[in-house]
Amino acid sequence: MKLDEAVGRFKEMGNKLHAYQHAMGILAYDGQTGAPPKSYEGRGMSLSTLSGEVYKIFINDETNELINFLLDNKDSLDNVVKRTAEEAREEYDQTSKIPMQEFMEFMKLQNDASHVWHEAKGKNDFKAFEPYLEKLVDTKKKFAAYRNPDINSYNLYLDDFEKGYTMADYDKFFDTLRERLVPLIKEAIPAAANTRVDFTKRSYPVNAQKKLGEFVLETMLLDKERYATAESEHPFTMGLNKNDVRFTTHFYETMPFSALYSTIHEAGHATYELNTADELMFTGLDDGASLGFHESQSRFYENIVGRSREFITFLY
């Protein structure tokens, strides 16, 4: 096989995978934002079926050999293809250890659990959600054992989010944080005792809050032709590609700052997604370097900018 042919086949597979994942993303977004409550069953079946197709496209001997061939010739590849192949190797090695049927069933379980969680949250009924939570945790533990039974499952999933980090690393980090933050908080509380906060809990019409949110998004200079917003039970951002980013917020009539800062936070995530490099589109490298990088962008806008005296003064 010639290298150019292998690269072409690799990119063709990537485009096909993206198409399925795009469709699955739209289904998931719709389920969180506007789909009828009873649509969850059909959506779960569709997501399960589509995930099976993704599995079959990606997990097979031909793909395995293709990735190996590219990595054997990685010094002749451009940086994007090389890094995509390295990521594909890791993803293949992880996913191929999970049986396809269980992979599909887990996709359905996540969908069904999300539906039950929405209903249970509205009724403050944890017992209704508890069995689904147990199934989710048990399945993730089983998948971790498939992938590497010799590694603590929590460490394995930490590594998925932040490459190379373990519980020991985070214990050290949080110990340092606790040492510095607790005295600072104790010092700040008395100083804030006379701060006026009554206005933060008044009743504010949701439509007025939405207008404020729109004003903030204009201030953050997001491209209106490349993002869409909606409401969901819990705010989130979904980057389908750099020209199609969706994010949500949740409004409480007597908690206006909740919606304000969740909007700024999610818009920070969206800003990151909207500004990835063009050459990374459809490669799997276009959704952020890691969860930590992604959260650093959302927190930067929410806390460093959004809670600064200068921004609040401007907004006021």
CA 189/CA 169 separation, integer angstroms? 30
First vs last C-alpha separation in the chain = 64
Report the Cα 222 to chain-centroid distance in Å.
19
Contacts of 111 by beta carbon, 8 Å cutoff, 6+ apart: 28, 31, 40, 43, 44, 47, 48
CA 99/CA 158 separation, integer angstroms? 22
User: Do residues 155 and 166 touch, judged by C-beta distance below 8 A?
Assistant: yes
Q: Please work out, in degrees rounded to the nearest 5, the angle formed at the alpha carbon of residue 171 by the alpha carbons of 165 and 177.
A: 110
**DSSP one-letter code for 306:** T
Could you tell me the two tokens for 220? 């953050």
Comparing C-alpha atoms, which of 308, 221, 316 is closest to residue 267?
221
The question of whether 41 is a catalytic residue gets the answer no
Set 102, 266, 279, 310: catalytic member: 266
Burial class (CB in 10 A: 0-12, 13-18, 19+), 85: buried
Q: Which residue has the tokens 């508890």?
A: 130
User: Do residues 51 and 107 touch, judged by C-beta distance below 8 A?
Assistant: yes
Could you tell me the two tokens for 298? 């959302």
CA 118/CA 301 separation, integer angstroms? 28
* Residue 127 neighbours by CB distance under 10 Å: 8
Active site positions, annotated: 266
